[in-house]
């Protein structure tokens, strides 16, 4: 029976002193490398590899478990962006473990991820830019175990299901997670109107399956909100998208009610709220079909569709 449970990167970092006896991250990764920037698509990035090795991880790091190789299995060169976590997860028919050396030269380990009992997961809520060297180990000794490594900004993935690229996300919608594009405070009469922000719409989660709403929630969204809005005005409030992407909106309003819309103006989505609906809005910008696309999120007290371009 395994004893380690899911750990976020902030909790499972090992002491820097362990690096003296660490794996050799200077060796070339056995299964290659990739360069990614925050907001990367497709999400997840996927690499099939062979897990395990001859080195017992716990002899190098007391908090780690499993058998790993000397050279990294995979390396990720990552450029961070505001509001995006970086999540490493593994799916395999065997019991696997994860060991990661981060850009800060600290070591991070996990045995059992949060959503799938035998699959490991390491989540960096505030990832640094730089190189992440990844070892996929086996809980039992030995090597030669097929495994799939996922690199994502959305959640934990598995090989089966209908998520992006044919992979399923194990997490559901969670409005308590940090919003991908942060928090915005708007007061009544704010200028300029509309307030707008460029976002990447879409995700791996079926909105209709994840959200209980009187509206049919078309499209695919992320587990975390795209944007959290704190509105303190007393006017009508209009939240909508503007762009060429076929977008959807799912919004948890200050009263805890979910509202959804697909096509308010062509392929743009939009939802209007009556006067006096002030408080926290958790806004999810999705896409009608699976995948990620760029669009502009707009928030106005004037009208649905109001904007500099007249759209």
Three-state SS sequence of the chain: CCCCCCEEHHHHEECHHHHHHCCCCCCCCCCCEEEEECCCCCCCEEEEEEEEECEEHHHCCCCCCCEECCCCCEEEEEECCCCCCEEEEEECCCCEEEEEECCCCCEEEECCCCCCCCCCEEEECCCCCEEEEEEEEECCCEEEEEEEEEEECCCCEECCCCCHHHCEECCCCCCCCCCCCCEEEECCCCCCCCEEEEEEEEECEEHHHHCCCCCCCCCEECCCCCEEEEECCCCCEEEEEECCCCEEEEEECCCCCEEEECCCECCECEEEECCCCCEEEEEEEEECCCEEEEEEEEEECCCCCCCCCCC
Give the total number of structural domains in the chain. 2
Task: Summarize pLDDT for 72-126 with one digit per residue, the tens.
Answer: 999 999 999 867 889 999 988 888 999 999 999 998 998 765 445 678 889 998 9
Q: Does residue 149 share a domain with residue 75? A: yes
Residue 37 lies in a domain: yes
Residue 306 lies in a domain: no
Q: Does residue 105 share a domain with residue 42? A: yes
Q: Does residue 260 share a domain with residue 224? A: yes
Q: Does residue 196 share a domain with residue 159? A: no
Of 8-12, 180-184, 300-304, which range is least confident? 8-12
Q: Does residue 199 share a domain with residue 159? A: no
Q: Domain range spanning residue 163? A: 7-169
Q: Does residue 151 share a domain with residue 26? A: yes
Residue 308 lies in a domain: no
Pick from 38-42, 90-94, 179-183, 270-274 the range whose average pLDDT is largest: 270-274
Residue 2 lies in a domain: no
Task: Summarize pLDDT for 45-69 with one digit per residue, the tens.
Answer: 888 888 988 888 887 776 778 889 9
Domain with residue 52: its CATH number is 2.60.120.380
Residue 201 lies in a domain: yes
pTM for this predicted structure? 0.55
């Amino acid at each position: 029976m395994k004893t380690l449970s899911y750990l976020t990167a902030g909790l499972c970092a090992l002491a820097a002193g362990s690096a003296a006896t660490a794996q050799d991250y200077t060796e070339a990764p056995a299964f290659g490398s990739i360069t990614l920037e925050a907001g990367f698509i497709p999400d997840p990035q996927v690499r099939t590899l062979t897990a395990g090795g001859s080195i017992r991880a716990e002899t190098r790091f007391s908090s780690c478990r499993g058998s790993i190789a000397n050279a990294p299995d995979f390396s990720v060169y990552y450029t961070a962006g505001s509001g995006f976590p970086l999540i490493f997860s593994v799916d395999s028919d065997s019991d696997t473990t994860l060991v990661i050396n981060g850009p800060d030269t600290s070591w991070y380990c996990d045995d059992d991820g949060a959503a799938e009992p035998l699959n490991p997961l390491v989540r960096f809520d505030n990832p640094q830019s730089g190189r992440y060297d990844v070892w996929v180990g086996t809980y039992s000794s030995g090597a030669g175990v097929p495994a799939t490594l996922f690199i994502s900004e959305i959640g934990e993935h598995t090989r089966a299901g209908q998520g992006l690229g044919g992979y399923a996300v194990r997490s559901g919608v969670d409005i308590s997670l940090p919003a991908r594009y942060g928090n915005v405070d708007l007061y009544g009469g704010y200028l300029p109107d509309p307030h707008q922000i460029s976002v990447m719409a879409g995700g791996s989660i079926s909105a209709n399956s994840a959200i209980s709403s009187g509206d049919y929630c078309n499209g695919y969204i992320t587990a975390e909100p795209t944007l959290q809005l704190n509105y303190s005005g007393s006017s009508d409030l209009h939240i909508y998208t503007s762009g060429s992407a076929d977008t959807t909106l799912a919004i948890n309003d200050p009263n805890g009610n979910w509202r959804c819309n697909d096509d308010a103006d062509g392929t743009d989505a939009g939802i209007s709220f009556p006067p006096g609906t002030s408080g926290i809005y958790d806004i999810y910008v999705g896409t009608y079909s699976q995948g990620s696309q760029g669009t502009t999120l707009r928030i106005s007290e004037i009208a649905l569709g109001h904007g500099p371009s007249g759209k």
